[in-house]
A = this chain, B = another copy of it.
Amino acid sequence: MRTSIATVSLSGSLTEKLTAAARAGFDGVEIFENDLLASPLPAEEIRARCADLGLRIDLYQPMRDIEAVPEEVFDANLRRARHKFELMRRLGADTVLVCSSVSPDAVDDDALAAGQLARLAGLAQEFGIRVAYEALAWGRHVNTYDHAWRIVEAAGHPALGTCLDSFHILSRGSDPRGIAGIPGDRIFFLQLADAPLPAMDVLQWSRHHRCFPGQGGFDVAGLLRHVLDAGYRGPLSLEVFNDVHRQADAGATAVDAHRSLLLLQEAVGAAELPPPVVPTGIAFAELLTADAEPVTALLAALGFARTARHRGKPVDLWERGTARILVNTGARDRRDGTRLAAIGLTSPDPAGAARRAEALHAPVLPRRRAPEDAPLDAVAAPDGTELFLLATGSSGASRLPDWRSDFADLPDVPEPAGTTRIDHLALTQPWHRYDAATLFHRGVLGLDARESIDLADPYGLRRSRAVANADGSVRIALTVGAAPADETVHAAHIALATDDVVAAARALRAAGGRLLPVPDNYYDDLAARFALSEGELATYRELGILYDRDAGGAFRHCYTETVGRVFFELVQRDPGHQGYGAANAPVRLAAQHTRRLLR
């Protein structure tokens, strides 16, 4: 029989995957949409590459959330499908996978699903394409293979068949004997995967994935209240089986563990801690480097001007609008490259914030004590980043904060048009400190933490979680790499807010700065997903601007080249948008790997 493999099953760039599959003896591939979007190769070239390697493109996958939706939604879905069918024609792929809908828009109406799938198949047929409809095990209404087949049968369209996937069938414990009743020529595709059985077992969950209170999803405080109500007066004891803790330094884990119990006691009113003082803004980001030239050239291209110099240390202040970057050339080791070493957070009560941090075991750093220095409270985050807690200007007249008095002004530099501030900071955590970092930012700094999400990097999965204050003036994205050995530890980026990302990107280019190139395939997909005007799309394509949208509005962003372990992002955020461009992260990460490999 012919053998095929989905590109998502392998690591690396699309080209690496195709080469590996062909060398191993596969006859074909399923091209996973994200692998195509992240590839710099146009569809025709991918087709040619596959042909050269002796690979047939057996499937393009997936289309999602197509069927059983209100008519106006389905119209938009057909528009999206037409884009993909055009792409598939360029690829020379003749079968598309459609997964059963998980959308909250989907209604439980098999006749509607069958009718819409038949219309989709009709459109596909015009392109010589077959539609293979598959039940996801977690589909909203259709989640068993026999249900998917009943809908395909009811649709009665020759270009519509079913796709069977051993994972979706066997993970639910469905009886596979019913498969023999489906006509073989209506099974358009078969996807095979095995899986370890205990992955779903509460015993495995218990023995490998426990974490400290406040790091997971349980209402541990609620449970503790019931126990205290019962009159329990014994100790609060942590029993946490966790694969990561088994490997991580015991001292750091114990500190994190004890912090979780302090916060838990505070949550149930059994302990009093200095109250949280939520930071109100990002005063500065401090870059540490042994060679300031590359990063200051980039800052200049970004419209920053060097405005002041520290009176006692080799530190320059660069400003644009209210975005402030300190460039500290006191790094000892040139090989470390430029890195984000410290963050200044403005606080309505720096001393109070420091007291809470100290009570919660955050290492308090020695206050700066040079004669001219304003005394600064500072603590270390779990990843080692120094956090300075800074008063906002105490004298009402000055827009400058107190810490600024340590700096001597340089001659005035004209500031470019377009104000800028720091939209967010993104910090890569050491692999074993991710949960600890969340607990720290939430518990010590009083920031809100979002759910952790997966980001597919070509060479491994990353996880990312945003922490922010209520008005979004402090936003930090905490990311953890794929593996302990990940070389991106301590990499960071600084996202600068702009009112007009197109103008900002053009200005950067005009000033000699370089933007991260984004593959054309990404923009073809953008055209399918969003009804952007031709001109808008062309501009984004020209500049490498990425686009996302949620209920609160749009998010437009692009990236600079990387200097040492730091790069910058330009962000145009609609006021209501709460995201960080996660949907675009796989494309961005792939593009950064491409650049890195070219260097």
User: Hey, which bits of chain A sit against chain B, CB under 8 A?
Assistant: 1-6, 8-12, 16-17, 19-21, 23-28, 30, 58-59, 61, 137-138, 164-172, 176-177, 179-185, 187-203, 205-220, 222-224, 226-227, 229-243, 245-251, 253-255, 257-258, 260-261, 264-265, 270-271, 361, 452, 454, 456-457, 459-461, 482-485
Q: Is the CB of A192 within 8 A of B213?
A: yes
In angstroms, Cα B206 to Cα A258, docked, is: 34
CB-based contact A193/B180 at 8 Å: no
Determine whether the beta carbon of A261 is less than 8 Å from that of B222.
Answer: no
Pairwise interchain contact A172-B20, C-beta atoms closer than 8 A = no
Partner among B195, B201, B247 whose Cβ is within 8 Å of the Cβ of A460: B247
- Bound together, the chains give a CA A26 to CA B126 distance in angstroms of 70
| A171 lies within 8 A of B205 (CB) | yes
- Within 8 Å CB of A189, what residues of B? 234-235, 237
- Whether the pair B179, A223 counts as a contact (CB closer than 8 A) is yes
Given contacts A4-B236, A176-B222, contact A200 B202 (CB under 8 A): yes
Main secondary structure of the interface of A (DSSP, over half): mixed
Q: Is the pair A3, B239 in contact by a Cβ cutoff of 8 Å?
A: no
Q: A176-B226, A190-B227, A194-B215 are in contact. Are A28 and B235 (CB under 8 A)?
A: yes
Q: CA–CA, A180 to B8, complex, Å?
A: 50
| Pair B237/A210 contact, Cβ less than 8 Å | no
5 A-B contacts (beta carbon < 8 Å): A20-B253, A24-B255, A167-B239, A192-B261, A195-B205
CB of A478, distance to nearest CB on chain B (Å): 15
- Cross-chain contact of A236 among B192, B233, B484 (Cβ < 8 A): B192
- Asked if B24 and A238 sit within 8 Å, CB to CB, the answer is no
Are A454 and B169 neighbours in the complex by a CB distance under 8 Å?
A: no
Q: Which residues of B contact A232 (CB under 8 A)?
A: 184, 187, 190
Q: How many copies does the complex hold?
A: 2
The chain B residue with its CB closest to the CB of A9 is B240
Q: Is B213's CB under 8 angstroms from A164's CB?
A: no
Q: With A191-B237, A251-B20, A361-B25 as given contacts, are A261 and B171 in contact (CB-CB < 8 Å)?
A: no
Contact, CB under 8 Å: A226 / B194:
no
Minimum C-beta distance from A567 to chain B (A): 22
Q: Determine which of B168, B216, B236 lies in contact with A1 in the assembled complex, contact meaning CB atoms within 8 Å.
A: B236
Q: Smallest Cβ distance from A430 to chain B, in angstroms?
A: 12
Given A5-B237, A180-B229, A183-B231, decide whether A24 and B190 contact each other with a Cβ distance below 8 A: no
Output the residue of A6, A182, A249, A254 with the most chain B CB within 10 A: A254
Most buried by B among A188, A197, A210, A460: A210
Compute how far the CA of A261 lies from the CA of B190 in the bound complex, rounded to whole angstroms.
13
A16, A24, A207, A238: most-surrounded residue (chain B CB, <10 A): A238
- Of the candidates B138, B177, B187, B201, which one forms a contact with A234 in the assembled complex, judged by CB atoms under 8 Å apart? B187
The reply to whether A211 and B194 form a contact with Cβ atoms under 8 Å apart is yes
**Chain B CB within 10 A, most for which of A11, A217, A248:** A11
Say how far A159's CB is from chain B's closest CB, in angstroms. Answer: 15
Q: Are A58 and B237 in contact (CB under 8 A)?
A: yes
Q: Which of B138, B199, B361 contacts A209 (CB 8 A)?
A: B199
Q: How many angstroms between the C-alpha atoms of A265 and B170 in the bound complex? A: 19
